[in-house]
Structure 1
Amino acid sequence: MVPSIIENIFSKIFNFASKFASGKYWHLKVAVLCSVISLCFHFPNFTHGEKWMRDGINKQIEEPFVKQNYPPDSHLAKRIFRLTMPVVGNLLNLNITGLLVLQSILGFLFFIIVSKLVFSITSDNVLSLIVCVGFTVIYIGKSFLIDSGCFDGTAFFLLSLTMFFRKPLLIFTCIFLACFTDERAII
């Protein structure tokens, strides 16, 4: 009795997933669904975070290549080589809040890339949907929304691009930028 109930539930879920992840623009539908799920569990607050951290990042955005005089053991001193987002902020005239909004947009694009990447490996729309939904409930999926200036989500986005691209120059560029977004990207 219980196994048949569970089997019916999973059957309905997979039927829905099969219908949902079909059509010409199914990647966009998957990205919208995953973004909505992420927003339900991790709604962003683009103005939160420690004032000293926000001020330090804004200062780095204004002058990304100028050495700042932070105490050597401080968190801001450890961010000196995380240059990708401050340079982007400087080029696009964005402050920390604008960069966090940009990172949220990259989260939407991340789900499109992951769905296409999984589909290119498996040729299965439903599995692509399931993998993307799985990402929404772990740190990678929420890092685009809850970040207060570490820009982990941007590093994950750039790393997903390295797996998606096939041209060595694009792969190198994405890895290079990811490493200067968060040094853990090199691992």
Structure 2
Amino acid sequence: MTFLENTYQKFESKITIFLEASNWQWRVVVVSGMMMLLSFFNNTMPFDDFKLYYEEVIVKRDEFFLYKVTRDRAKNLTEHRVYLEPASNNRVFRLTLPVIVKVLHIRHVSIFIYGLQLVLGVLLYFLLTRFLFQLLNDKVATFLSMIALSCIYFGSAFFIENCGYGDFYTFFFLFLGMYFRNPLIIFASIFAATWCDERAAVASGLVFLWWWISPTIKDNRKISFIPSWQMITVALGVIAYGGLRLYLMKYVGMSATYKEGEFMQMIHDSWRSFGFKFTWVLEGFWLVMLLAFGILYSNKEYQKLILVAGGTLAMVFLGMTTYDSTRSGSYVFPMIFLGLMIVQTQLSNRQLRIVLTLVALLCFLHPLATKTRGVGYFLM
């Protein structure tokens, strides 16, 4: 037995023993959280905002950065305000959090929103663990997948994003739209997600693909063009958002403020570093996605290939149309689960574990690009 084989066998054996306990899912949650924290060893700049958060919220007893916009919007949901900070002006139609603050009469917005985010982040990890186990039917593969997910922005946003962007809440609601099958829950989740961030309206298309393609992978059948209730509900959630937004724009006078020429300038700047922006969104999960593309092509499932590859690449490309490309591109996360499903159908448990070990290692070692300052700042 070679050195690598012996090392991996010991590694896998220890994980298997660790996951034999009845509370194995919570063990996965705890270890994933620890690995997420440790993954910042090679880029500690994201932690700089915690110092700023402390000074503004605890010392000055004010709201930090975009939490101020949430506070202002909660006071008057439809008021038109113009801020000096461009990111603040883009939040006119991001009303989910302001509504929560308004309904619950929250006084300390920064503390409440971030505190709730931490609690829901733990819940997300637990739901993800259950969700992955249903897909992979293997505890070790689930464990490795969770470590990998916790080390990319999708899995770490609940902790590291403390500026009030609300990315975690959008991810959370979109995931609930995949986790539950009940149409009412799906509709509410999609509707809430779109009012957290308008990018969720685009990402809902990937949730739609999830409900369209995942049953065909599970049952090993071809694509059906008869929509399920889940697919219809996702579409209705986006339509409801679009209809209400148009109403607010036409009859209430709400409108977002953008700089002239900003969109084309962002695309121009993004293409100069597209290699970073493509890689930094999925990190090690590109290995899973490329394997999935190859499997679909090899099996001549061209319709699924077009949908899965097209959805993945389209979302990553759209992420490049903004400066915060890691945050925007991370909305591609529903495709990760489709990729895992596809790969799982063609690999043995041992092969899948080896692949996911490499994915987890790559995600852990890859610096998280939420904040890099300097030249790389716009790769956040």
TM-score interval (norm. to shorter): 0.7 to 0.9
Q: Quote the Cα distance in structure 2 between the aligned partners of 1:29 and 1:52.
A: 35
What is the 5 A alignment of 1:173-184? 173-184=188-199
Equivalent residue for 2:101?
Answer: 89
Q: Aligned letter for 2:189?
A: C
Equivalent residue for 2:9?
Answer: 11
Change (3 A) 1:45 1:73: closer
Q: Aligned letter for 1:97?
A: I
Which stretch shifts more, 94-103 or 64-73? 64-73
Which stretch shifts more, 10-19 or 87-96? 87-96
Change (3 A) 1:164 1:64: farther
Q: Quote the Cα distance in structure 1 between the aligned partners of 2:132 and 2:71.
A: 37
Aligned to 2:73, which of 40, 60, 65? 60
Q: Aligned letter for 1:180?
A: W
Q: Residue 90 of structure 1: CA displacement?
A: 2.8
Change (3 A) 1:68 1:13: farther
Q: Aligned letter for 1:154?
A: Y
- Cα deviation, 1:74-132, whole Å, max 9, x if unaligned, reads 32221011111222233342512220121122221111111111111121111111111
Change (3 A) 1:181 1:127: same
- Cα deviation, 1:119-174, whole Å, max 9, x if unaligned, reads 11121111111111001111112211121111111111112211110101111111
8 Å contact kept, 1:35–1:107: no
- Give the TM-score, by structure 2 length: 0.44
Change (3 A) 1:64 1:4: farther
CA RMSD of aligned residues (A): 2.5
Change (3 A) 1:73 1:32: closer
**Structure with the larger RCO, 1 or 2 (CA within 8 Å, 6+ apart):** 1
Equivalent residue for 1:38?
Answer: 36
- Give the TM-score, by structure 1 length: 0.85
- Answer yes or no: is 1:171 the counterpart of 2:169: no
**Runs ≥4 in structure 1, deviation > 6 angstroms?**
none
- Answer yes or no: is 1:110 the counterpart of 2:124: yes
8 Å contact kept, 1:64–1:83: no
8 Å contact kept, 2:77–2:98: no
8 Å contact kept, 1:64–1:90: no
Structure 1 segments unaligned to the other structure (5+ residues): none
Change (3 A) 1:73 1:165: same
Q: Quote the Cα distance in structure 1 between the aligned partners of 2:78 and 2:200.
A: 23
Structure 2 segments unaligned to the other structure (5+ residues): 41-46, 57-62, 203-380
Aligned to 2:171, which of 156, 176, 179? 156
Q: Quote the Cα distance in structure 1 between the aligned partners of 2:198 and 2:168.
A: 13
Aligned to 2:139, which of 125, 139, 154? 125
Equivalent residue for 1:137?
Answer: 151
Q: Aligned letter for 1:160?
A: F
Q: Aligned letter for 2:37?
A: L
Larger Rg: 2
Aligned to 1:74, which of 78, 86, 89? 86
